[in-house]
Amino acid sequence: MEGLLLVLLNGLVYGLLLFMLSSGLTLIVGMMGVLNFAHASFYMLGAYFAYTISVGLGFWPALIIAPLLVGGLGALVERYGLRAVHRHGKLAELLFTVGLAFVIGEIVPLIWGRPAVPYRVPAVLDFPAFALGGINYQAYRLFMMGVSVAIFAGLYAALARTRLGLVIRAALTHPEMVGMLGHNVPRVFTLVFGAGCALAGLAGVIGGNVFTTSPGMAEALGAIVFAVVIMGGLGSIPGALLASLAIGFIQTASVTLDTPLGVLLGRLGMAVDPHGALAEITIARAAPAVPYLLLVLVLVVHPRGLMGARAD
């Protein structure tokens, strides 16, 4: 019982973390249709900015300033880069962000050096808040979960309930129409991209000290955020939350299972050599591959993702 509770709790923690990491990407993909491969780079910039600011001013000012800086940078990138490639199509936009990720990945170590920087969790939140099954949960983890939930609530409310949200969603499907109604569509896109980058930056501020703030952190974040966004259904905020939690729970649960994969496949009716290579892999070992397996499965069964409105 306690074991199950622990899995649920850890799954929830991990799921909310994933949502926080991918929320900015969800926004950009959903509202602009741009698969921003530089998302992880903006996440990294958020962490580095926060480190530099926290050295001078402390963590809390960094929590506000760093995402704003990253968001501003994102807006500039949209205005002077992305907008220019927009007319060449989606592929060009995507490739532009790939190149951008490459360049940011090279510039960051030039400024902050190649080794990791000592960016640490603020002392006020660096204490065990509660324990379950002998495992302590840091107050900072709770803070992280809180921020994640706040991001969800904020995004959901902003897009579904406000006039701005309405304009943004309309600008995606009917840009000419919205333009004719007197809204500045390009500026809406700049705003959205900036906001998405700011969210990536915020994730960096909060994640950078729990994990490590190093030039490799963007690459370490990797494809998982894409798995979340795609699985949730391109651009669906509730979908991304659902996908994050699904990945969180399933991956955490798989970690606890030491059953060999061969046995599992055997039960599914597949003949597996009991001494072969597959028989040796336990479900726990395969756990980190779970998000991608889920991704492929979800897309096979339901091409638009869990809650997606659009197929492409």
Partner 1 sequence: MPKIAAHLRGRSWLVVKFLAAPVFAGLLFAATHAAAAEVVQIAYIDPLSGPFASTGQLGEEHLRFAIDRVNAAEAAGPGRRFELVAMDNEVNPEKSLTLLRKAIDGGIHYITQGNGSSVAFALSDAVAKNNRRDPTHAVVYLNYAAVDPGLTNGKCNWWHFRFDADSDMKMKALASYLVGRADIHKVYIFNPDYSFGQSVEKAAIAMIGNQRPDLTIVGAERVPLGKVTDFTPYIAKMRAVGADAVVTGNWGADLTLLVKAAADTGFNATFFTYYLGARETVQAVGMAGKGDAQISEWHENVDAPAIDKMAAAFNAKYHENFYYWRVVDMIDTLAAAMKEAGSTDPLKVSRVLSGMKFSTPLGAEEIRADNHQLLQPMYISVLAPDMPHMFPGVPLGFKTIKRFDAEATRLPTTCSLKAPD
Partner 2 sequence: MADQAAPQTALLAGVPGRSRAWMIWLAATAALALVAPHLLASGFGISLLNRMAIAIVFALSFNMLLGQGGMLDFGHAVFFGLGGFATMHLLKLADAGIFLPVPLLPLAGALGGLVSAVPAGWVATRREGTSFAMVTLGIAELAVAFVVMLPQWFGGEEGVSGDRSAEPALFGFDFGAALQIYYVIAAWALLAAVLMWAITRTPLGRLTNAVRDNPLRVDFLGYDPARIRFLCFALAGLFAGVAGGMQALNDEIVTVSNIGSAASGAVLLMTYIGGVGTFWGPVLGAIVVTLLQMALGTLTDAWQLYSGLLFVFMVLWAPGGLSGIILSHAPLLRAGLGHRLLARYLAVVPAALLTLAGLIGLAEMAYRLQAVRSGGAPGRLFGFAVMPTDPVAWVAPTLLLLGGLLALRSLAPRARAAWQEAHTLLARGTPR
To the nearest whole angstrom, how small is the minimum distance from the Cβ of residue 63 to partner 2?
29
Using CB under 8 A as the binding rule, the residues of this chain from 141 to 200 that contact partner 2 are: none
Contact 70/218 with Cβ under 8 angstroms? no
Extract the tokens encoding 119. 């960016």
Using CB under 8 A as the binding rule, the residues of this chain from 35 to 64 that contact partner 2 are: 35
Contact 84/65 with Cβ under 8 angstroms? no
To the nearest whole angstrom, how small is the minimum distance from the Cβ of residue 121 to partner 2?
28
110 contact, one of partner 2, partner 1, none, CB 5-8 Å limit per kind: partner 2
* List 274, 288, 296, 302, residue binding partner 1 (CB under 8 A): 288
To the nearest whole angstrom, how small is the minimum distance from the Cβ of residue 91 to partner 2?
6
Contact 95/38 with Cβ under 8 angstroms? no
Residues 6+ apart with CB under 8 A from 203: 20, 21, 23, 24, 43, 46
Using CB under 8 A as the criterion, what x/- string covers residues 250-279 for binding partner 2? --------------------------xxx-
Instruction: Report helix, strand or coil for 130.
Output: strand
Which of the stretches 168-176, 215-223, 227-235, 269-277 binds partner 1 when contact is defined by CB under 8 A? 215-223
Contact 281/260 with Cβ under 8 angstroms? yes
Which of the stretches 4-12, 116-124, 224-232, 250-258 binds partner 2 when contact is defined by CB under 8 A? 224-232
Q: Does 48 bind partner 1 (CB under 8 A)?
A: no
* List 4, 55, 84, 270, residue binding partner 2 (CB under 8 A): 84
To the nearest whole angstrom, how small is the minimum distance from the Cβ of residue 284 to partner 1?
6
Helix or strand run (H / E) with residue 17: helix 2-32
- # of chain residues touching partner 1 (CB under 8 A): 45
* List 143, 256, 278, 304, residue binding partner 1 (CB under 8 A): 256
Q: Does 6 bind partner 1 (CB under 8 A)?
A: yes
What's the CA gap between 140 and 201, in Å, rounded? 18
Q: Does 33 bind partner 2 (CB under 8 A)?
A: yes
Residues 6+ apart with CB under 8 A from 303: 311
Q: Does 303 bind partner 2 (CB under 8 A)?
A: yes
Which of the stretches 20-28, 44-52, 88-96, 150-158 binds partner 2 when contact is defined by CB under 8 A? 88-96
Which of the stretches 52-60, 156-164, 199-207, 288-296 binds partner 2 when contact is defined by CB under 8 A? 288-296
13 contact, one of partner 1, partner 2, none, CB 5-8 Å limit per kind: partner 1
Q: Which residue has the tokens 């506000």?
A: 64
Burial group, residue 40, by CB count within 10 angstroms (0-12, 13-18, 19+): buried
Residues 6+ apart with CB under 8 A from 211: 217, 220
Contact 257/51 with Cβ under 8 angstroms? no
Contact 139/126 with Cβ under 8 angstroms? yes
Q: Does 58 bind partner 1 (CB under 8 A)?
A: no
Q: Does 100 bind partner 2 (CB under 8 A)?
A: yes
Residues 6+ apart with CB under 8 A from 40: 101, 200, 217, 218, 219, 221, 222, 225
Q: Which residues sit at the interface with partner 1, rule CB under 8 A?
A: 3, 6-7, 10, 13-14, 17-18, 106, 109, 114-116, 118, 120, 128, 131, 133-138, 141, 210-212, 214-217, 219-222, 224, 251-252, 255-256, 284-285, 287-289
